């Protein structure tokens, strides 16, 4: 009895490891089944009211059987995912995830590494993965980087380094609460909304974000950019940074990155690229020229959970000047001081490159995926998605009742049926509600557009044929019922 006394202390570990392990195996089988059969299910379905009600249940104060909780998960949660795991999900820009990455996420959660730095495997793996990614995008091996939660977070880090380092005064200490010339950031009217969030968060303010007009290809007008910079300088303002976009969210346009790099060089400004998905076109052997100049930025943000199909979250920021990156964020309070040896012998290098101190092992799924699949396959899959977009464009161009709304330089196709905005919106809703496909929508030139963004390794050419058939079927039904 005495010997068991210590065992009476409480823990979250199971009394019976075998039972929980058996349940874990059941979960794993179910998830494999779930992924293998995803094509047979609707892309998406609305959460029914009865499920909503049950997901509003009060706080569970007492324990429940793990198997019963899992049954509830299978009934209330698993059937209602976002849908982006399905081959016909092309809404917004979301990656698909993969079975290999799911297994890696389980391993990462079990290890539960705290990746602020430290002498541990996870930090070495993150550094290795960052080197691989820098190489894939054509950045030098001395480039610094960090994995982040999201594209917004990665872009924010790039812009924060620009503000803290390129502003020319001690922004970390003095903030922007002083009499210096206001900092101005430049993007295009097609720049993603992260830029507004970032300048707001950084205290720059959205009034100081210039949205430069775009040309017919939705690329930033460079004359307008030069004029805006000159006008701001003439007004005593401080042009800080130009944001170039590789793959705009609306139409997949890529700015002339080489030209912007030259302008930033001439103007002694920071060049940041938002390459959320478009940067990864650099990996695609057939289409890599689309991302020409991607290697020229001072900082670049992109998302492995978009066009490298990783499960969320896996954003990435790369900063060319490693010292500038560190100087923008590093702190060393006494409880985080590095010692000569031991676990803290390695500095908190990742905490010194971004916002978070507590960080999980995001790198493991990327490490596993690049090793198991090889980087070449990712490039081929990106080529395949770009080819699928071109195929969809051809299908649309050959249908007299459909109208292409924008050029298709990458993986985004915007089009509409030759009827009112309301009918086009109804087509999108019926496609989603029927579970046939999930496109999203946007406004282009003030008109409603059905928008297909292809960052999906499960999509096949036949899925786009089916999609066009369904668009036309719903359109026909809507015309008849008018």
Residue list 410-469, contact with a copy of itself (CB under 8 A): 425, 428-429, 432-433, 438, 440-443, 451, 457-458, 460-462
- Shortest distance in whole angstroms from residue 265 CB to a copy of itself: 25
Applying CB under 8 A, the span of 53-61, 222-230, 317-325, 469-477 interacting with a copy of itself comes to 53-61
Please provide the size of the chain in residues: 482
Q: What angle do CA 459, 460, 464 make, to 5 degrees?
A: 90
- Shortest distance in whole angstroms from residue 244 CB to a copy of itself: 18
Q: Which is nearer to a copy of itself, 217 or 337 (CB)?
A: 337
**Alpha helices by DSSP H, 41-142:** 49-54, 66-72, 99-111, 121-136
Among 3, 173, 216, 234, binds a copy of itself (CB under 8 A): 173
Residues 228-267 that bind a copy of itself (CB under 8 A): 249-250
Question: Among positive and negative, which fits the CA dihedral 469, 472, 477, 480?
Answer: negative
Cis? peptide before 372, omega within 30° of 0:
no
Among 1, 3, 49, 59, binds a copy of itself (CB under 8 A): 59
Among 186, 277, 329, 417, binds a copy of itself (CB under 8 A): 329
- Shortest distance in whole angstroms from residue 129 CB to a copy of itself: 10
Among 17, 268, 289, 398, binds a copy of itself (CB under 8 A): 17
Count the Cβ atoms, other than its own, within 10 Å of residue 237: 16
Residues 110-149 that bind a copy of itself (CB under 8 A): 110-115, 118-122, 124-125, 128, 131-132, 135-136, 149
Q: Which is nearer to a copy of itself, 221 or 466 (CB)?
A: 466
Q: In sequence order, which residues have a C-beta less than 8 Å from that of residue 250 and are 6 or more positions away?
A: 190, 218, 406, 412, 414, 442, 444, 451
Site map (CB under 8 A) of a copy of itself, residues 63-102, x = contact? xxxx--x--xx--xxxxxxxxxx-----xx-xxxxxxxxx
Q: Which is nearer to a copy of itself, 333 or 400 (CB)?
A: 333
| Residue 325, φ and ψ in degrees, nearest 5 | -60, -50
- Shortest distance in whole angstroms from residue 290 CB to a copy of itself: 19
- Shortest distance in whole angstroms from residue 259 CB to a copy of itself: 25
Token representation of residue 368 = 């596993």
Residues 196-225 that bind a copy of itself (CB under 8 A): 196-197, 199-208
- Shortest distance in whole angstroms from residue 461 CB to a copy of itself: 7
Chain centre distance of CA 44: 20
Among 369, 411, 424, 455, binds a copy of itself (CB under 8 A): 369
Burial of 320 (0-12, 13-18, 19+ CB in 10 A): buried
Among 165, 253, 318, 364, binds a copy of itself (CB under 8 A): 364
Asked if 52 interacts with a copy of itself (CB under 8 A), we say: yes
Give the Cα separation of 260 and 268 in Å (integer). Answer: 12
**Alpha helices by DSSP H, 310-374:** 322-329, 363-373
Q: Are 411 and 480 in contact (CB under 8 A)?
A: no
- Shortest distance in whole angstroms from residue 223 CB to a copy of itself: 25
Give the total of residues touching a copy of itself (CB under 8 A).
182
Q: Which is nearer to a copy of itself, 137 or 228 (CB)?
A: 137
Chain centre distance of CA 141: 23
Among 1, 2, 50, 193, binds a copy of itself (CB under 8 A): 193
Among 41, 42, 138, 164, binds a copy of itself (CB under 8 A): 164
Q: What is the DSSP letter of 75?
A: I
| Residue 147, φ and ψ in degrees, nearest 5 | -85, 140
Give the Cα separation of 417 and 66 in Å (integer). Answer: 50
Q: What angle do CA 396, 401, 405 make, to 5 degrees?
A: 55
Token representation of residue 291 = 């991302």
């Amino acid at each position: 009895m005495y010997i068991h006394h210590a065992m009476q202390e409480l823990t979250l570990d199971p009394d019976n490891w075998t039972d929980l392990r058996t349940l874990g195996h059941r979960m794993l089988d179910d998830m494999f089944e779930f992924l293998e059969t995803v094509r047979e299910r609707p892309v998406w379905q609305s959460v029914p009211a009865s499920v909503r009600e049950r997901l509003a249940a009060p706080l569970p104060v007492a324990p429940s059987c793990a198997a019963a909780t899992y049954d509830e998960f299978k009934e209330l949660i698993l059937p209602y995912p976002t849908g982006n795991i399905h081959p016909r999900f092309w809404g917004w820009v979301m990656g698909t995830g993969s079975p290999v990455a799911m297994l890696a996420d389980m391993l990462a959660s079990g290890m539960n590494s705290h990746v602020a730095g430290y002498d541990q495997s996870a930090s070495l793996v993150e550094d290795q993965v960052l080197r691989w990614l820098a190489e894939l995008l054509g950045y030098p091996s001395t480039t610094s980087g960090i994995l982040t939660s999201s594209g917004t977070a990665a872009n924010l880090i790039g812009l924060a380094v620009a503000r803290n380092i390129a502003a020319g005064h001690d922004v970390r200490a003095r903030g922007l609460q002083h009499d210096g010339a206001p900092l101005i950031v430049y993007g295009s009217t097609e720049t993603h909304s992260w830029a507004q969030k970032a300048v707001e968060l950084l205290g720059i303010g959205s009034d100081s974000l210039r949205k430069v007009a775009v040309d017919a290809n939705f690329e930033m007008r460079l004359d307008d950019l030069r004029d805006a910079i000159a006008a701001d300088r003439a007004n005593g303002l401080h042009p800080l940074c130009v944001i170039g976009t590789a793959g705009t969210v609306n139409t997949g346009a890529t700015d002339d990155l080489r030209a912007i790099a030259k302008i930033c060089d001439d103007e002694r400004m920071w060049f940041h690229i938002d390459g959320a998905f478009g940067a990864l076109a650099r990996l695609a052997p057939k289409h890599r020229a689309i991302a020409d100049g991607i290697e020229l930025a001072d900082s670049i943000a992109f998302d492995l959970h978009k066009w490298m199909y990783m499960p969320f979250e896996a954003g990435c920021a790369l900063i060319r000047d490693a010292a500038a990156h560190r100087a923008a964020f590093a702190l060393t309070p006494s409880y985080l001081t590095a010692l000569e040896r031991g676990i803290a012998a390695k500095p908190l290098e990742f905490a010194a490159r971004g916002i978070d101190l507590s960080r999980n092992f995001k790198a493991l799924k990327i490490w596993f995926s690049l090793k198991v699949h090889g980087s070449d396959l990712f490039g081929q899959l990106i080529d395949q998605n770009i080819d699928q977009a071109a195929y969809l464009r051809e299908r649309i161009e050959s249908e007299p009742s459909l109208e292409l709304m924008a050029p298709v330089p990458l993986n985004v196709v915007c089009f509409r049926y030759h009827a009112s905005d309301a009918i086009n919106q109804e087509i999108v809703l019926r496609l989603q509600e029927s579970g046939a496909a999930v496109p999203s929508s946007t406004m282009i030139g003030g008109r409603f557009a059905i928008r297909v963004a292809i960052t999906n390794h499960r999509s096949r050419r036949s899925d786009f044929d089916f999609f066009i058939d369904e668009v036309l079927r719903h359109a026909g039904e809507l015309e008849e019922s008018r």
